[in-house]
Amino acid sequence: MNIAIVGATGNVGRKMLEVLEQKKISIGQLFLVASPRSAGQKVNFNGKEQEIFNLETYDFSKAEITFFAAGGKISEKYAEKAAKHTTIIDSSSFFRMDQDVPLIVPQVNPEAINVLKKNIIANPNCSTAQLVIALKPLHDEFNIKRVVISTYQSVSGGGKKPMDELIEQTRLSLDKKKINSKNFTKQIAFNAIPHIDVFADDGYTKEELKMVNETKKILDDKIELTATCVRIPVLVSHAESVNIEFEKPFSLEKIHSLLDSAEGCEVYDIREDGGYITPLEAEGKNETYISRIREDKTKKNTINMWIVSDNLLRGAALNAVEIAELLIKKNNG
Residue 38 within binding range of ligand A2P, rule CB under 6 A: yes
Per-residue contact track with ligand A2P, 68 to 87, x per CB under 6 A? --xx--x-------------
Q: Give the pairing type, strands 144-152 and 224-228.
A: parallel
9 labeled part of a ligand binding site: yes
Q: Is residue 34 a contact residue for ligand A2P (CB under 6 A)?
A: yes
Q: Is 12 annotated as a binding residue?
A: yes
Residue choice 62, 145, 160, 216 for contact with ligand A2P (CB under 6 A):
160
- Is 229 catalytic? The answer is no
| 215, 140, 323, 101 alpha-carbon torsion, rounded to 10° | -50
Alpha carbon distance 29, 39 (integer Å):
18
CB of 250 to ligand A2P, least distance (A): 39
Integer Cα distance of 92 and 89 in angstroms: 9
Q: Cα dist. 83→65, 113, 179, 190 in Å? A: 9, 15, 43, 43
Q: Does 128 bind ligand A2P (CB under 6 A)?
A: no
Residue from 85, 139, 195, 238 carrying the catalytic annotation: 238
Query: Is position 127 an interface residue for ligand A2P (rule: CB under 6 A)?
Result: no
Nearest to 154 by CA among 327, 308, 317: 308
Q: Which helix (H) or strand (E) holds 304?
A: strand 302-309
Q: Which residue is nearest to ligand A2P (CB)?
A: 10
Residues 94 and 70 sit within 8 Å (Cβ to Cβ): no
Q: Which H/E stretch holds residue 180?
A: none
Using CB under 6 A, which of the segments 107-115, 159-167, 212-220, 306-314 binds ligand A2P?
Answer: 159-167
Taking the C-alpha atoms of residue 83 and residue 79, their distance in angstroms, rounded to an integer, is 6
Q: Applying CB under 6 A, does 256 fall inside the site for ligand A2P?
A: no
Dihedral angle computed from the Cα positions of residues 186, 192, 194 and 195, in that order, rounded to the nearest 10 degrees: 50
CB-nearer residue toward ligand A2P: 149 or 155? 155
| C-beta of residue 8 within 8 angstroms of C-beta of residue 34 | yes
Query: Can residue 4 be called a binding residue for ligand A2P (CB under 6 A)?
Result: no
Through-space distance between the first and last CA atoms of the chain, rounded to whole angstroms: 15
With CB under 6 A, what is the number of residues at the site for ligand A2P? Answer: 17
5 close to 15: Cβ distance less than 8 angstroms: no
Residue 155 binds ligand A2P, judged by CB under 6 A: no
105 is in an annotated binding site: no
DSSP 124: P
Task: Tell me: does residue 18 bind ligand A2P (CB under 6 A).
Answer: no
Enumerate residues 48-67 that contact ligand A2P by CB under 6 A: 55
The binding site for NADP(+) consists of 9-12, 37-38, 156-157, 311
Give the interface with ligand A2P as residue ranges (CB under 6 A): 7-11, 13, 34-35, 37-38, 55, 70-71, 74, 159-161
Binding residues: 9-12, 37-38, 96, 153, 156-157, 231, 311
Q: Which residues are catalytic?
A: 126, 238
